[in-house]
Structure 1
């Protein structure tokens, strides 16, 4: 179960990220790191913030436990779908009407002319949010059936939409390219929704929605209890799961006060950092969360602990080796991926420094993601939310302390330091004694030995690359 779901999610995520890197390489080559790339990344930041909150935690980790418990599954699902979808459509319309205001919120350091230039792109990109909500809800239903492939692979469709836009409009002026990219986001979102609808039909969930629509006016105590349980856990889950995304959002806002290109340096560095985080931590936790929830609901804590321990050691080996490799070869990775066309050698140096600072936080972010499952599966969302607030507050303190001496790299380091705060309090809630019991294993010595060998190999590879350059 663990291995199958993990590899399904990992392979799907890898395919999606490969297309994502192709998209980023094209963006770096065609747009470079300048005011137009900054404008697009600002415009995409708002919907992408909510996408990560929805798709990588808050909604799914609240919906699945409530869905498992409720005896009114069809009606509960239909009620949640209609409520959220209509709200997000209305919210998107409000963003369209007041797009300059929302653009100013995201990039507070932009001047009035740049804000006005960004506003229409903010409005266009925001319509991706209702689409990704549909994808997230549909994906949660498929996860309940242990069907992970469609959700894992579908992100590639978003990247394909954006790649198509870049290739079709690469000869145009940069403003037109940003328009094309924005509409490419919506095309990719529609493709994601369609792919999930096909999978839902194959699993007979379309009839499930039809049944919910048929009985939409029925209300009873069981449904009310389910709705209240979901509402209570959802708002706590938003706070608990959104720390990395809010940190990224804050980074973009603060970076708008720095030199031109800083937002792009953070974006490209964070994109590389997100690869191992999504490929390993998010893929694994997505796969085992429904199972752990079922086990805890059945009071089978021993089996749930065993599954969590297996997940820990898988992540421990993958995240530590990724951290060491990403940190030591940060400049070389950015050079290989992005130093083409409009992306200069100076852009590579700055982005490489940012990436190195991000990589410091990979292990704590990934492990916090894993151990927070225990809290969410046990309906302890409020506790997770309080922990997230500690981490967010520490990030703000670190950001203001490091932005002046280190620039964009200081913002990346501040996020990594706040990840250690997040992990500490998460482990304290999980149980420090239980965590150290997991660490008390021969696998710890094997991991240390593996890292020493990797360090030697990477040092040699780094020298070879520098000799070639």
Structure 2
């Protein structure tokens, strides 16, 4: 089951990231790394952050336990959907009404002219939050039936729609292209929702919604709703929200750090936001392909084993997953740093994206890659806390590492620019890993680390990769 779920999630993430790289390649070719690309990335950053946080487990880790234990699953699910949809609708209207203030908040360093250009772009992209929540909600319901493929592959539709929007608007001026790209985001959100319709019908969720709607009507009518039913639904919702907010913070340190970096980069030279965006996109690939995919597949197994008092079985599954993840990320780390220039050149250089942009983005990417191991491996140990319903402790750990990263960013950005922000992000990852291991327990951690075959695999892989890539760079390199 673990292998099948991992392969489904991993292949879906790979498909999505391939289209994502094609999108970024096309965006770099048309918009380059300058004022207009910075405007779009600022506008898209918050909804994209929201998508990553929700889509990478924070919602599912909170919703599924409450959904499983709920006696009236339909009523509970519709209640959660209604609450979030209404809150996000109100939030979207507030962003529309106070677009200038929100844009200034997202881009402290933009001048008045840039703020005026970015305002409507921010509003358009903000409506994607409503769509992406619905997508996440529907995907989580399908996970309850062990159907992972829709949640894994639906993000590709967002990228396809954005590529289509770029293609349609390619011959217009740069600001118009940014508008086309923003509307492409909304079209992608609608497409992501539509792909869920048939699987939801197949697994009987529309019947569940109908039954749940009937229960909600009774709950909203005080004269007909039994007191125990109302209390049960209220308790389910309280339990969900009690776990949800710590889970969001606990599983989103890397994404929130990247979001803060983008805000701080608005104070730096033009193009800094774009360098961070392109570099972080590549950094996120191995993190999602291996760390997020295996964590998504591992969590139900660990949670079930702990619930059944099978601690040894849970630790055994974690050790196997840890070493697989360690070896995969170790290989990505070495390859990414050694081939940093060549990777950025291959993916982005051309059109409005020049050699100087390639070299700057490559340096930022290398600094991000230093944090790949700590950010990725910390997810294994965070699962232990979530399985024990210690979302509060996980949130505290994330908050400490996040504050530490912000302090490092403020200390490094003025001397090192965008590269300094990337270094600070990696330092935040190291702090997250250290605190997660300490909470997990040093004795259990050393038990996982005591695996000679794993260390031998790391050594052989590292030496072989350095030799092979060193030979390749001797004959071909970008400078």
Distance in 2 (alpha carbons) for counterparts of 1:461 and 1:200: 49
CA contact (8 A) 1:265 1:354 kept: yes
Residue 159 of structure 1 is matched in structure 2 by 159
Corresponding residue of 1:303 = 313
Structure 1 residue aligned with 2:206: 206
1:134 aligns to 2:134 (yes or no): yes
Contact 1:144–1:290 (Cα < 8 Å) also in 2? no
Q: Provide the C-alpha distance between the structure 1 equivalents of 2:90 and 2:169, rounded to a whole number of angstroms.
A: 31
Query: How many residues are treated as equivalent by the alignment?
Result: 468
Aligned residue in 2 for 1:393: 403
Q: Which residue of 2 aligns with 1:246?
A: 256
**Separation (CA, whole Å) in 1 of partners of 2:235 and 2:387:** 18
| Structure 2 CA distance for partners of 1:68 and 1:256, relative to 1, 3 Å | same
Give distance in 1, aligned partners of 2:208 and 2:299. 23
Farther-moved stretch of structure 1 (292-301 vs 163-172): 292-301
Q: CA deviation at 1:270?
A: 0.3
Q: Which residue of the partner structure matches residue 332 of structure 2?
A: 322
Closer, same or farther in 2 for the Cα pair 1:262/1:268, shift >3 Å? Answer: same
**Native 8 Å contact 1:2 1:307 kept in 2:** no
1:333 aligns with 2:367: no
1:379 and 2:404 aligned: no
Q: Aligned partners of 1:40, 1:254: CA distance in 2, in Å? A: 16
> Are 1:288 and 2:298 an aligned pair?
yes
Larger displacement relative to structure 2 (3-12 or 299-308):
299-308
Q: Deviations over 1:96-137 (max 9, x none)?
A: 111111111111000011011101010000111111111111
Contact kept in structure 1, 2:299 and 2:387, CA below 8 Å? yes
1:453 alignment partner in structure 2 = 464
TM-superposed deviation, 1:222? 2.8
Unaligned runs of 5+ in 2: 220-228
> In the alignment, is the contact (CA less than 8 A) between 1:65 and 1:377 conserved in 2?
no
Q: Is the 8 A contact 1:62 1:376 kept in 2?
A: no
- Say whether residues 1:233 and 2:243 are aligned partners: yes
Aligned pairs for 1:41-440 within 5 A:
41-216=41-216, 217-218=218-219, 219-440=229-450
How far did 1:438 drift? 0.9
Please give the alpha-carbon distance, in whole angstroms, between the structure 2 residues aligned to 1:168 and 1:284. 37
Once the two structures are TM-superposed, the CA of residue 70 in structure 1 deviates from its matched residue by 2.4
Q: Is the 8 A contact 2:327 2:457 kept in 1?
A: no
Task: Tell me, in whole angstroms, the C-alpha distance in 2 between the residues paired with 1:277 and 1:71.
Answer: 37
Structure-1-length-normalised TM-score = 0.97
CA positional deviation for 1:295: 2.7
SS in 2 for 1:108: coil
Q: Which runs of 5+ in 1 are unaligned?
A: none
Q: Distance in 1 between matches of 2:308 and 2:79?
A: 26
Q: CA deviation at 1:464?
A: 2.1
What are the Cα deviations for residues 370-428 of structure 1, in whole angstroms up to 9, with x where unaligned? Answer: 22111112210000011011101110121112112211011011000110000111111
TM-score (norm 2): 0.95
